[in-house]
Structure 1
Amino acid sequence: MKTFLATRSPFLIVAALAVCVGTARADVIMDWNAKADAIAAEKKVLPVPQARTMSMLHVAMFEAVNAIDRRYTPYKLDLVADRSTSKEAAAAAAAYNILLTIYPDQKSALDTALHASLSGIPDTDGKANGIELGTIAASGVIALRRDDGSNAQESYRPATAAGVYVPTVVPLGTTVGSMTPWVMTSVSQFRPAPPPALDSETWSRDVNEIREVGARNSTTRTAEQTDIGRFWFLVGPPSFNPIVRQVALAKHMDLVDCARLFALAEIAGNDAIVAVLDAKYHYNLWRPTTAIRNADITHNPKTPRDSSWLPLGETPMHPEYPCAHCIVSASVSTVLRSIAGDDIGELSVTSPTAPGVTRKWSRIQDYSDEVSNARIYAGFHYRFSTEVGKDMGRKIGDLTVATQLRGLEARAEPKQ
């Protein structure tokens, strides 16, 4: 076992600064989660890079605090610290160094955040050792992800004939399938079977459903369904992090268990995004707006063409199959249900894409199911795609809980 020593490292962070995320969320894990969300919102970070950042952030915090408590098996870093080391300082320093590496232009705000996290901790060797431990944990996670494929150069080639115009916006996430997963053995581990044929009953049923309920001018979509569709234009970690925070609070988790819950949720969510984008570009299925406007070329008499059809929202810029929002919400909800159970009390979330609307659920599964329905109401996904996405997400969530950050008794077992 590698042992962390209480000596000053050249990476030691001695800046003193503070988190302004409100006194209602005193736990250092949730404070830094909220801080990272706020930075990403301000900088308009896309879901894929934000998912990578959040998974690195929370794995680093978990590795740091678990090295002190030694309650669970680590992810990769084999660190051990004296039990007098401050967990709060370790978590804060780990988070600070991850975010500073990814957002160096945010140093002033991050310095302020670090000071707030550290200001209530007595100035003892335990605090100093915690800062050093957190810095080492962050450095270790950064090294693990340095060559993870996230910097692959975009090389998407639009399909066209010489001289013929096509829309010039490059789709999103075309290189994500080359990223290294946290949990899966390969990005294609849970790649699903192909989508249904364009003359099948499933295709006819689902494309007709979305043509009716997902249209911008739909007369069959209810007012609540319209709110739900717009609400879940919110995607990526900001769409589930508030739920993870509420689950941790509802279960009165201590710092280590909270760190573990977030780490599991974030790496499952990250792997879900990697898996779904691999599948999307493998199958390259057209979106409803393309399919419905071109329905005549399928020669399927059960799916009539609508030449001016528009979805409720702006269609995401990547292929349709499977549903990305569905796989992410299902992977995270599977982790949460496995760790905390399904009945949490009341969960509630607001969304910047549906001002004045608050969505509430009594079960975690209800949140995941609503996200899937929302993509149909929005005109983005066929029902078969939402079901396949949810199934992939459940498998990734189950794999994450079964193989990662397990109790110490798992040390004697071979890692799957």
Structure 2
Amino acid sequence: MNVLKVAIVGLTLISANTAVRADVIADWNNTAMGVMKAANVGGNPWTRSMALVNVSMSDAVNSVQSRYSRYIPELPIDPNASAEAAAAAAAREILMRQYPGQKERIDAAFAETMKTIPDNPARVAGISLGEKVAAAVFAERQSDATNTPDTYRPHTTAGIWVPTTLPLFPQYATAKPWGMESASQFRPAPPPALNSALYARDYNETKEIGGVKSTKRTDAQSDAVRFWTQANLGSAWFQATRQTSARHGLPVAESARVFALMSMAFANCFVVDWDAKFQYNFWRPITAIRNGDQDGNDATERDASWQPLNTTPMHPEYPSQAAINAGAVQGVLEAVFGSGTESFTVTDTSDARLSRQFGSFSQMAQEHKEVRIWGGIHFRNSLEVGESMGRKIADHLVANYYVRSTR
């Protein structure tokens, strides 16, 4: 990664006789998030869409500049096209294919981008190239099995009532990840045995600090739990990437690369983690603690009325989604920017008056993990395992995708 950092310093890329700026990548990430917020899209499909947008933009830019390898290497090359126009057209094409109801918003963003690019043959060529790249990426992902019917079968005995809310997006457990062999490629070992000392340690920690009536949790910890909604957990990493890329002055190809790798890693987390979650089907703290007398562990005491501070997500506990996300995205960002100080501010997606400041990627990643215990919805071992899985995803993608071109 030192080679990459050296290459970035002082580098100015010229395409089609006009200086390109990395802002087009960050701008279209903001547009994509705005489109999905308006369309009420979140969770697993949100990460898939962000990956589609960013992979398409990076492939489009590198179909002009050829600085890094492409996700789809067979795509056409046009060194005379505008890289910015190609990136914007690719993002527009992807968003229009997925969210045609947001056409007005998407077209307005495209018009704003076009104001910054000279109206010449390079722009025309870039638009055409970007549309072709996006179409190819979109077609390649149509077989990723994320849109298969939800056929989840609730666990019950015939005739016995169980809660009727189905888990979120169970089909992602068998979906095709980005640039990996299978969803189970990094599947971890099973969660700890219920009669183990490790399980008792985690059970009692979450029971003590994660309950809605906990006297051990501080006000600051409770505030952090409330800030880190599912929407903020996802958006935060894109905000951090945008601010860091801008501060480092990344040229367009480098900016596109980091957003593409980060988005692929993020999307993979929602496939790889779902594989493990539905493989092991491990109970959440609220279920475990209310059944603490049935786990065969003398060190766990039942609390019949225990409730978590946070709302329990509708999918199994092990491994932690927040932790695998943190491990994967932190791994990608540190591979590009290093593990030192990086100041950035994360703003609440619903209330711009609320924000949190961080001095490094690791600091935010750690808070993302801790709030799952403070909120009473995870056990610590699940966080540790999830983070390790995320690191493996990051290492794999950085080593094999968007590597420096030899052409």
Alignment-derived partner of residue 188 in structure 2: 192
CA contact under 8 A between 2:22 and 2:250: conserved in structure 1?
A: no
* Matched residue SS, 1:343: coil
Are 2:313 and 1:310 equivalent residues in the alignment?
A: no
Q: CA deviation at 1:212?
A: 0.8
Alignment-mate amino acid for residue 367 of structure 2? E
Aligned counterpart in structure 2 of residue 59 of structure 1, from 55, 65, 86: 55
Are 2:67 and 1:81 equivalent residues in the alignment?
A: no
Q: CA deviation at 1:366?
A: 1.4
Alignment-mate amino acid for residue 121 of structure 1? I
Alignment-derived partner of residue 241 in structure 2: 244
Alignment-derived partner of residue 13 in structure 1: none
CA contact under 8 A between 1:58 and 1:263: conserved in structure 2?
A: yes
Aligned counterpart in structure 1 of residue 345 of structure 2, from 334, 343, 348: 348
Q: Map of 1:35-46 to 2, 5 A cutoff?
A: 35-46=31-42
TM-score by length of 2: 0.91
Q: CA deviation at 1:183?
A: 2.1
Are 2:271 and 1:274 equivalent residues in the alignment?
A: yes
Aligned counterpart in structure 1 of residue 293 of structure 2, from 284, 293, 296: 296
* Matched residue SS, 1:397: helix
Q: CA deviation at 1:113?
A: 1.2
CA contact under 8 A between 1:247 and 1:336: conserved in structure 2?
A: no
Q: CA deviation at 1:354?
A: 8.0
Alignment-derived partner of residue 171 in structure 2: 175
Aligned counterpart in structure 2 of residue 387 of structure 1, from 384, 387, 400: 384
Q: Map of 1:137-156 to 2, 5 A cutoff?
A: 137-156=133-152
**In 2, distance between residues paired with 1:96 and 1:50?**
16
Alignment-mate amino acid for residue 327 of structure 1? I
CA 1:30–1:271: 2 relative to 1, 3 Å: same
Q: CA deviation at 1:196?
A: 0.5
**In 2, distance between residues paired with 1:245 and 1:325?**
20
Alignment-derived partner of residue 226 in structure 2: 230
Are 2:331 and 1:334 equivalent residues in the alignment?
A: yes
Which stretch of the first structure deviates more once superposed, 223-232 or 260-269?
Answer: 223-232
Q: Deviations over 1:16-65 (max 9, x none)?
A: xxxxxxxxx98111111011111222222121111111101001001111
**In 1, distance between residues paired with 2:26 and 2:158?**
53
Alignment-mate amino acid for residue 56 of structure 1? L
* Matched residue SS, 1:349: strand
Q: Deviations over 1:106-164 (max 9, x none)?
A: 11211111111112222110010000000000101011101110111111111222322
**In 2, distance between residues paired with 1:113 and 1:360?**
28
Alignment-mate amino acid for residue 265 of structure 1? M
Alignment-mate amino acid for residue 382 of structure 2? S
Q: CA deviation at 1:358?
A: 2.6
TM-score by length of 1: 0.90
**In 2, distance between residues paired with 1:161 and 1:187?**
30
CA contact under 8 A between 2:265 and 2:397: conserved in structure 1?
A: yes
- Give the fraction of aligned pairs with identical amino acids, expressed as a percent: 42
CA 1:315–1:70: 2 relative to 1, 3 Å: same
Alignment-derived partner of residue 207 in structure 2: 211
Q: How many residues align?
A: 386
CA contact under 8 A between 1:213 and 1:220: conserved in structure 2?
A: yes
Q: CA deviation at 1:394?
A: 0.6
**In 2, distance between residues paired with 1:114 and 1:366?**
35
CA 1:82–1:175: 2 relative to 1, 3 Å: closer
Q: Map of 1:371-382 to 2, 5 A cutoff?
A: 371-382=368-379
**In 2, distance between residues paired with 1:359 and 1:200?**
37
* Matched residue SS, 2:342: strand
Alignment-derived partner of residue 109 in structure 1: 105
Q: Deviations over 1:173-210 (max 9, x none)?
A: 21102211112211111110111111111100111000
Q: CA deviation at 1:231?
A: 1.8
CA contact under 8 A between 2:39 and 2:102: conserved in structure 1?
A: no
**In 1, distance between residues paired with 2:380 and 2:34?**
33
CA 1:198–1:354: 2 relative to 1, 3 Å: farther
Which stretch of the first structure deviates more once superposed, 330-339 or 346-355?
Answer: 346-355
CA contact under 8 A between 2:346 and 2:357: conserved in structure 1?
A: yes
